[in-house]
A = this chain, B = another copy of it.
Amino acid sequence: MHKITHISMETDVLAENRHLAEHNLERLRGSSVRSVDVMGTTGAGKTSLIIALSRMLMARGLRVAAVAGDVTGQDDYDRFQAAGVRAYNLNTGKECHLDANLLDRTLDGIDLLAVDFLFVENVGNLVCPADFPLGTDKRMVVISVTEGDDMVRKHPMIFQGADIAVMNKMDLASYMGIDVERVKADYRRLSGGKELLPVSVRTGDGLEALADRLLG
């Protein structure tokens, strides 16, 4: 988080965000939309994962949409659309995270009664999104085996605030020589006993279990 001279102002911003997040949650639930905030490192595979999960949920009969959050551009939006996932682009301009106000304004452009499940892809960043809940049912954090085995210890706040933690690109685990058990143990300790979910979007391993968790 950037240095802000007056602590009271930071508190105000976070409190106002929480208030708006509650408003978003009411709004989504009022339209029977289930939702997840997908946080994670840049390049962890958030977009590919959302596409794979969207296809699974659509195969289960759900109407899915995705909000593509990024600082600039519409690469992820284009990828969602090309993959047949209804998408909405959300650029933050310079902000390193989404916030409840940005999601609120994006929801204005979505016919929520035509959506059963909404993915909100946050800006790739393991620090700033932690402080800004959006008002989704769940928060999920995605890392990948290529990032090393110290991610949980280095970014405890975002893992503590997440309902689901996912380690992607498991097909590369042996090549990377990463100690996945160490990451799992770190997360178990930090989360009070929760299990990190290993997945591979490339092979499909773990994705059905993750889809169940999203709906659970």
Contact = CB atoms under 8 A, between A and B. Distances in A.
Given A1-B2, A43-B146, A71-B127, 10 more contacts: A2-B2, A2-B13, A2-B95, A43-B143, A43-B148, A70-B154, A73-B154, A75-B150, A128-B128, A172-B172
A162 interface: no
21 contacts: A1-B2, A2-B4, A2-B97, A3-B13, A4-B4, A5-B9, A43-B43, A43-B146, A43-B147, A43-B151, A71-B127, A71-B155, A72-B154, A75-B150, A75-B154, A94-B157, A96-B128, A123-B127, A125-B126, A128-B128, A175-B175
A144 interface: yes
Each complex incorporates copies of this chain amounting to 2
Q: In terms of DSSP, what is the predominant structure of the interface of chain A?
A: loop
Interface in A56-81: 70-73, 75
Interface string A114-132: 0000000001111110000
